[in-house]
Chains A and B, each alone.
Chain A
Amino acid sequence: MEDTKPFYDFSIPYNKNATVIRAILNELVELGYKTIAIEQSFDHSKKDAVKRGSEMFPEPYNIENLRNEFKDKLKILQRLNILYVDANVSHAMSVSLNLRKFNLIAGQPKTDAALTHCCTTFNGDIITFDPVAGSKLLVNRKSLQVAVRRGMFFEIKYAPAIADSNNRKDMIKVAQNYCTKGKSKNIIFSSGALHEFQLRGPYDVANLAYIFGLSADQGKNAIDRFCRQLFLRAESRRLGKTIMFVKGKGPIVYSDSSDEGEDDDVQMDEIEPIITEPATEDEQEIENYQPNKKRLKVLE
């Protein structure tokens, strides 16, 4: 599977101003983060359900230049936050093609019903909440346990807690609720920082676990191991059941079957398992970065 290195920060809000986001990324490198995700929000409840079947979700932002700039320092993923009020969103999600271009998908429910839906059937990876709206939404025990069993992760953002004391109280309340209802299982920390001054080092964040009701061990895992688990889960959702996947390094040359293996770009040791295991061929993802094509293949 794809390599990711600790530490992780899965929520950096996208900023149009290139200098701001560059400053944030530089600070992240300085603090010792290796894998981050650029966050993008989408409010599903505002859209009318007129255009059924058509594309609803936005394209991911183009961050190729950032990726190139921080090539060997940071691994940059992309993440979509979906704000929604009812279960209609799941239909829109199932037909969407753009959604596959994102590495991570987070649900941000606005009502109690949506929160329960988010825990039980939502086809995403992270359950997050709006720090500004307050802590009216508290998850109940049953749906929390369902969510834990499904491998969803709850997110706690610490930057709003640093900026404002009201938010801090709400954040502690929500985090302690996770603690009382489900022993703080499956919790990750992320920043959500709008400015580089709000970022903190990974060990500082792990120390914050104390006020959020997590044990020291859980706090450390919340920025390290659980994030890796989350990433793997997200990849498996994107690719389907996968045993292995092959990623082309250079331009892909499609050659005839007669002289196969002669002038292929893929190296020999990489292609060997495909030949020896023809039974699992339909489950393999040859081209990772063309989810559209793959999708069409499935639809046929």
Chain B
Amino acid sequence: MVRIKNRYIAVQIVPYTPTQTLRFSDQTLTKCLLQNVKKYYGVYGLGLLEHGFRVKYCNERTKIAIIRCLHRGQHFVSSMLPLITLIGEVRAKFRTLYTGATIIQCNKFIIKHQRQFLDRMMGQIESAKERQDIFKRVMEFDLDR
């Protein structure tokens, strides 16, 4: 039986200027999100969310993060994500990919999403040399998105 209901939100961070890697740690992301919650919903929202709020996963290369929050407060997070334009010192926006109840489902979705993205990239390429080139870049995580 589930005692504490959580929600896991998978987000992608899209920077203003395309860059290779983002220097984000879990802490900076958490701090930025909670600051924004305070800005938009005040002390009430912060008090509701702060317990149980955590950035579970943050990938600098693929720019994907998973946020955990309580089921009760998920609207507070999801409705304020589109309004954020500044993360730390970088101009960037969030793009919600998926909202799930377990982290395994989130993980599944992210793998599927990355696979789709790769397929699309591969489909656009014509020559074999370029394909090899992009394959090398994928292995080194050198993608602009």
Could you tell me the distance between the alpha carbons of A55 and B85 in the complex, rounded to whole angstroms? 43
Q: Are B75 and A203 in contact (CB under 8 A)?
A: no
A205 touches B82 (CB 8 A): yes
* A196 CB to nearest B CB, Å: 10
Given contacts A162-B83, A162-B85, A208-B82, contact A203 B16 (CB under 8 A): no
Q: Do B79 and A203 touch across chains, with their CB atoms under 8 A apart?
A: no
When the two chains form their complex, are residues B96 and A207 in contact, meaning their CB atoms are under 8 A apart? yes
Distance between B37 CB and nearest chain A CB, rounded to angstroms: 12
Complex contact B95–A200 (CB within 8 A)? yes
Residue of A nearest to B39 (CB): A165
A31-B95, A207-B96 known; A200-B78 Cβ under 8 A: no
Any B CB within 8 A of the CB of A240: no
Does any Cβ of B come within 8 Å of A210's Cβ? Answer: yes
Instruction: Give Cα A200–Cα B82 distance, bound, in whole angstroms.
Output: 7
Give every chain B residue within 8 A of A203 (Cβ-Cβ): 96
What distance in Å separates the Cβ of A114 from its nearest Cβ neighbour in chain B? Answer: 31
Chain A interface main SS type: helix
Given contacts A197-B16, A200-B95, A201-B96, contact A210 B82 (CB under 8 A): no
Q: Which of B78, B83, B95 contacts A161 (CB 8 A)?
A: B83
What is the bound-complex CA distance between A209 and B75, given in angstroms? 10
Q: Contact residue range for chain B? A: 10 to 19
Chain A residue with Cβ nearest B17 = A197
What's the minimum C-beta distance from A231 to chain B, rounded to whole angstroms? Answer: 24
Give the distance to chain A from B42, nearest Cβ to Cβ, in Å: 13
Shortest Cβ distance from B38 into chain A, in angstroms?
14
Q: Mark A14-31, 1 if CB is under 8 A from B, else 0.
A: 000000000000000001
With A162-B85, A197-B93, A201-B96 known as contacts, the answer to whether A207 contacts B79 (CB < 8 A) is yes
B13 contacts the other chain (Cβ, under 8 Å)? no
- CB of A204 within 8 A of chain B? yes
Q: Does B94 contact A (CB under 8 A)?
A: yes
Residues of A within 8 A of B87 (CB): none
Query: Can you identify 11 A-B contacts, CB atoms within 8 angstroms?
Result: A168-B83, A200-B93, A201-B95, A201-B96, A203-B96, A204-B94, A204-B96, A205-B82, A207-B79, A207-B96, A208-B79
Interface residues of A (CB under 8 A from B): 31, 158, 161-162, 168, 197, 200-201, 203-205, 207-211
